[in-house]
Amino acid sequence: MATDRPRHATCQCGQLAIACVGEPLLVSICHCLDCQRRTGSAFGITAVYPRTSVAVARGTATQFRRMGGSGAPIAFHFCPECGSTLWWEPGREPGLTGVAAGAFADPGFPAPTRAIWDDRRHPWLSQPDGIVCHRQGAGG
């Protein structure tokens, strides 16, 4: 169901929030070791939006940059107060923004349709039915 009503993703303490207009282009599970470290969980879930559909609604962010599995840089934006990562900008896809799906705190948020880095998935973790799995990154 497409909508122009913005969804708001917020950090844990509420200092930082972003507004995302429309539905995500893609919702993806990532099992890479970097996402496991970033989230403190067994995977991360990313909602991908056009970069022009994402704007800071309140607060200030701190940035952390690293190289992604694709070999291109990724800039992560997080709350300097509570440390919650809200969004990231992949250098290999300059027109897109990844948003931490859990930051929407919405049980009705669209479900993931794909999983990447499945070869790093914990063996005790099952994928949702019907999800497209890539052994490594999106092209792998």
Q: What per-residue confidence (pLDDT) applies to 69?
A: 74
Q: What per-residue confidence (pLDDT) applies to 139?
A: 59
Q: What per-residue confidence (pLDDT) applies to 112?
A: 96
| Alpha-carbon span 36 to 115, nearest angstrom | 14
Q: What per-residue confidence (pLDDT) applies to 140?
A: 47
Which domains are delineated in the chain?
Answer: 23-133 (3.90.1590.10)
**DSSP codes, 12-75:** SSSS-EEEE-S--SEEEEE--HHHHHHHTSS-EEEEEEEGGGEEEEES--EEEEEE-TTSSEEE
Low-confidence ranges of the chain (pLDDT < 70): 1-3, 139-140
| Alpha-carbon span 78 to 139, nearest angstrom | 27
| Alpha-carbon span 72 to 93, nearest angstrom | 9
Name residue, tokens 């940035």: 63
**pLDDT by residue (tens digit) across 48-77?**
999 999 999 999 999 999 988 778 899 999
Contact 101, 47 (CB under 8 A): yes
Q: What per-residue confidence (pLDDT) applies to 1?
A: 45
**pLDDT by residue (tens digit) across 83-92?**
999 999 998 8
What is the pTM for the complete model shown? Answer: 0.90
| Alpha-carbon span 119 to 55, nearest angstrom | 34
